[in-house]
A and B are shown apart, each in its own frame.
Chain A
Amino acid sequence: MISTFTTSESLAAARAANRRAAVAGRTVIFRIKRCDGPGKPSRWEDFKVPVPVGANVISCLQYIAANPVTADGKPTTPVVWDSGCLEEVCGACTMLVGGRVRQSCSALIDDYAPAEGDVITLEPMSKFPVIRDLWVDRERLFHNLKRVKAWVPIDGTYHLGAGPTESPDQQGTRYKLSECMSCGCCLEACPQFNLEEKPDMWDTSFIGPHAISQARLFNMHGTGKVLADERLDALMGMGGVSECGNAQNCVKVCPKHIPLTESIAAMGRATTIHGFKRFFRG
């Protein structure tokens, strides 16, 4: 491969090499982009952290929270972050580790800072408003799932019986799509999805690859299908599927390896057909 381009393989290889070279009992500098609250200016602070074997970013953040002193010895406020599952299934701990978006709970220090005194940078995601330090507000991500009604409508007054049966093929496709944990990695890396602080702009700004993929998931669902037209209408609106510029970063950074670009193309096809139908039906 051409080495000037980053590939998923070259990244994985570089991390594996770091992991093999990692020195036991070292101290690592955590360079953290901090912010005291919404609208407040950001600043960088360094922390010295002794790194035990197998440490990850969250365990080191816990150390910093217990010892809120900067590398040059000044006391400071504990660094704030968000997390939940600690096993890469909830998406809450997503941040920029070494400049690239990923889950911090599964980010091993050995992969990034193998030698004594190595620096590892932590930043909050840039496409969502910062609440404090590394903690961001992902509300727009969930709002965009509502725009495409990313659910199966089953609420009613009587029992609907068993759902329709499904082919193994379709089940396989849908299972992969269903693994999305709403983490926001794909949005952070997408050049067409950018920070929008004003919620009244959300409905006309790019909906994002995760929502396009979820629309596909629920349009393939036997019962979820009943809302298919509404989902396609939403995807044809301002900020819909055609806002994607095919940079295909999303699929590269998705920790669940969801085939986002295939979903985008599939919804491109579905909206094409839907558009023609709508045109001739009036």
Chain B
Amino acid sequence: MSESTTADPRGFFERNHYLLRRLHSLSGVVPIGLFAIIHLTTNSSIVWAAILTEKGRTVTDRTVATFQEEVYFIHNLPFLIFTEVFMLWLPILFHALLGIYYAKTGKANTDRYSYQGNWRYTLQRVSGYIGFLFILYHIATLRWGWTFLVPGGTRWEYPYAASTLAACLRGGVGEVTMAGILISVFYFIGVTMLVYHFANGLWTAAITWGLTISQKAQQRWGVVCTALGVTLFAMGASAVLGFATLRPDEALRIENRVMPTDKRVELQREGKLKPNPGEPRSADAVQTH
């Protein structure tokens, strides 16, 4: 379009302003938002599997086994680290850094104009900040193994997905500690903020891209986004509550039981197989299915 041969004197951000804003909007929906839906569906299985599956004898049997099997499925996906870096971590970093930059261009004025829409706008920014802190903590502790940030110092390990996650939330493998309660509350707030951020973001994205124009259309899409938000909130809340009330020792027995043989052999070779609570480490050395 531009016929000029001289270089554009404007900086990178100025030249690509519109494209960057649209990529910001897009990245919030796919891949980040889509991932959030999948992620919360998986994690809330610690509650819904009690009703929707028939595995095992007790409720905990069903939920832990289902969750653990989902984790195996994810960890057996090909090129997982590639997917994580390019479909998750980099998009989140891109969206968050630009999000903070964009958020700083505005000045909240809910004190003078306390319209509902103005609160939505302000909360979209606040939830972005809090959500970003939460995601950083969440990935750093559970994925990158920064155990010094975990009360109780538990390292999350995927063959022990439920028990180690519960221990990270509860402040250790034993009874819930005060620090554990704080971490669980932080998870609840973080997840709730991000669910709001995604639901409201989906609503504004439709305006950004010009899908919903008339006020009627915006209202209708608002109903859809609210319904999605309420559903995701229910899933997020059950995930946090489900793991915060799960006993790590009980979960560990189930994880050992459902562990595939090749995984068991591999963990044994590396000396990482955890004994069932109350049993000596050597006792499980010969057990296979």
Indicate whether B129 reaches chain A with its CB closer than 8 angstroms.
Answer: no
Q: Find out whether the CB atom of B208 lies under 8 angstroms from the CB atom of A242.
A: yes
Indicate whether A249 reaches chain B with its CB closer than 8 angstroms.
Answer: yes
Query: Which residues on B sit within 8 Å (CB–CB) of A159?
Result: none
Q: Find out whether the CB atom of B210 lies under 8 angstroms from the CB atom of A275.
A: no
Indicate whether B287 reaches chain A with its CB closer than 8 angstroms.
Answer: no
Q: Find out whether the CB atom of A243 lies under 8 angstroms from the CB atom of B117.
A: no
Q: 1/0 per residue B9-36: CB within 8 Å of A?
A: 0100010011101100000000000000
Q: How far is the CA of A189 from the CA of B113 in the complex (A)?
A: 7
Q: Find out whether the CB atom of B210 lies under 8 angstroms from the CB atom of A6.
A: no
Q: Find out whether the CB atom of A275 lies under 8 angstroms from the CB atom of B22.
A: yes
Query: Which residues on B sit within 8 Å (CB–CB) of A267?
Result: 210
Indicate whether A165 reaches chain B with its CB closer than 8 angstroms.
Answer: no
Nearest-neighbour CB distance to chain B for A91, whole angstroms, equals 19
Query: Chain B: how many interface residues by the 8 Å CB criterion?
Result: 37
Q: 1/0 per residue A1-36: CB within 8 Å of B?
A: 010111100000000000000000000000000000
Q: Find out whether the CB atom of A265 lies under 8 angstroms from the CB atom of B14.
A: no
Indicate whether A262 reaches chain B with its CB closer than 8 angstroms.
Answer: yes
For B115, give its contact among A204, A252, A278 (CB under 8 Å).
Answer: A252
Q: Find out whether the CB atom of B213 lies under 8 angstroms from the CB atom of A248.
A: no
Q: Find out whether the CB atom of B207 lies under 8 angstroms from the CB atom of A268.
A: yes
Query: Which residues on A sit within 8 Å (CB–CB) of B109?
Result: 189, 191, 249
**A183-241 at interface with B (beta carbon < 8 Å):** 189, 191-192, 194, 204, 206, 236-238, 240
A275 nearest CB neighbor, chain B only: B18
Indicate whether B164 reaches chain A with its CB closer than 8 angstroms.
Answer: no
A192 and B213 contact, Cβ closer than 8 Å, known pairs A245-B121, A246-B121, A247-B117: no
For A248, give its contact among B1, B107, B114, B117 (CB under 8 Å).
Answer: B117
For B1, give its contact among A5, A261, A269, A278 (CB under 8 Å).
Answer: A278
Q: How far is the CA of A249 from the CA of B122 in the complex (A)?
A: 12
**B100-134 at interface with A (beta carbon < 8 Å):** 102, 105-109, 112-122, 124
Q: Find out whether the CB atom of B207 lies under 8 angstroms from the CB atom of A245.
A: no
For B118, give its contact among A247, A262, A264 (CB under 8 Å).
Answer: A247
Q: How far is the CA of A252 from the CA of B115 in the complex (A)?
A: 8
A245 and B115 contact, Cβ closer than 8 Å, known pairs A268-B210, A281-B1, A282-B1: no
Q: Find out whether the CB atom of A5 lies under 8 angstroms from the CB atom of B214.
A: no
Q: How far is the CA of A140 from the CA of B50 in the complex (A)?
A: 62
Nearest-neighbour CB distance to chain A for B104, whole angstroms, equals 11
For B210, give its contact among A100, A238, A259, A269 (CB under 8 Å).
Answer: A269
A249 and B207 contact, Cβ closer than 8 Å, known pairs A240-B17, A242-B21: no
A233 nearest CB neighbor, chain B only: B1
Indicate whether B215 reaches chain A with its CB closer than 8 angstroms.
Answer: yes
Indicate whether A150 reaches chain B with its CB closer than 8 angstroms.
Answer: no
Query: Which residues on B sit within 8 Å (CB–CB) of A282?
Result: 1
B10 nearest CB neighbor, chain A only: A238
Q: Find out whether the CB atom of A242 lies under 8 angstroms from the CB atom of B18.
A: yes
Q: Find out whether the CB atom of B119 lies under 8 angstroms from the CB atom of A264.
A: no
Query: Which residues on A sit within 8 Å (CB–CB) of B211?
Result: 269
Most central of B17, B113, B204, B215 by chain A CB within 10 Å: B113
Q: Find out whether the CB atom of A246 lies under 8 angstroms from the CB atom of B14.
A: no
Cβ contacts A to B, 9 pairs, < 8 Å? A5-B115, A7-B115, A189-B109, A237-B17, A240-B18, A242-B21, A246-B117, A246-B204, A249-B113
Q: Hey, which bits of chain B sit against chain A, CB under 8 A? A: 1, 10, 14, 17-19, 21-22, 102, 105-109, 112-122, 124, 204, 207-215, 218
Q: What would 5 more interface pairs be, CB under 8 Å, given A246-B208, A261-B207, A278-B1?
A: A246-B204, A261-B218, A262-B213, A266-B210, A272-B209
The 4 closest A-B pairs by CB, nearest first: A269-B210, A247-B121, A248-B117, A242-B21
